[in-house]
């Protein structure tokens, strides 16, 4: 926590922990970006059962695309659809974790972390699919 002093009044600013929504091996979709980079179990964050179900559904989609991509198939369109579904999930997470965590997103199509879903959506519109 940072303390700022302005005149005689003290203002406090708390730093929210960062979480990255990023499907990866070992059955993980949420990662601590504030401290140690370790995975975070969605069940420990007080998320709704529906959000947890959607996270694991999204993870299964990642596994299917990853397998196809490594097999030499063209997965560009699949990664774009994956990111689009992930953005919807990202917005849902941001709503459920508002005030407690800053939720970021890793775009598999652009291979980059994002903090703003609107910016990512705009960038994805300009990416060729073939």
Q: In this structure, what are the phi and psi dihedrals at residue 26, rounded to the nearest 5 degrees? A: 70, 25
Q: Summarize pLDDT for 12-47 with one digit per residue, the tens.
A: 456 789 999 999 877 889 999 987 889 999 999 999
Q: Of all helices (H) and strands (E), which one includes residue 70?
A: helix 49-70
* pLDDT given for residue 66 in this prediction: 84
Q: Could you tell me the two tokens for 96?
A: 């459920």
Tens digits of per-residue pLDDT, 50-104? 999 999 999 999 988 888 777 666 666 788 899 999 999 999 999 999 999 999 9
Report the b/e string of 99-129 with b at 16+ CB within 10 A. eebbbbbbbbbeeeebeebeebeeebeeeee
User: End-to-end alpha-carbon separation of the chain, Å?
Assistant: 47
Residue ranges per structural domain of the chain: 17-125
**pTM exceeds 0.95 for this model:** no
Residue partners of 48: CB distance under 8 A and separation at least 6: 96
């Amino acid at each position: 926590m940072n303390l700022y002093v302005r005149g005689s009044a003290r203002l406090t600013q708390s730093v929210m922990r960062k979480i990255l929504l990023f499907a990866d091996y070992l059955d993980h979709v949420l990662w601590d970006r504030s401290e140690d980079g370790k995975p975070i179990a969605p069940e420990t964050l007080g998320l709704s059962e529906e959000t947890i179900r959607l996270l694991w559904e999204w993870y299964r989609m990642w596994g299917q695309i990853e397998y196809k991509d490594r097999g030499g198939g063209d997965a560009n369109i699949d990664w774009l659809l994956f990111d689009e579904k992930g953005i919807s999930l990202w917005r849902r997470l941001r709503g459920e974790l508002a005030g407690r965590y800053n939720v970021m997103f890793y775009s598999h199509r652009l291979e980059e972390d994002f903090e703003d879903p609107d910016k990512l959506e705009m960038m994805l519109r300009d990416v060729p699919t073939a």
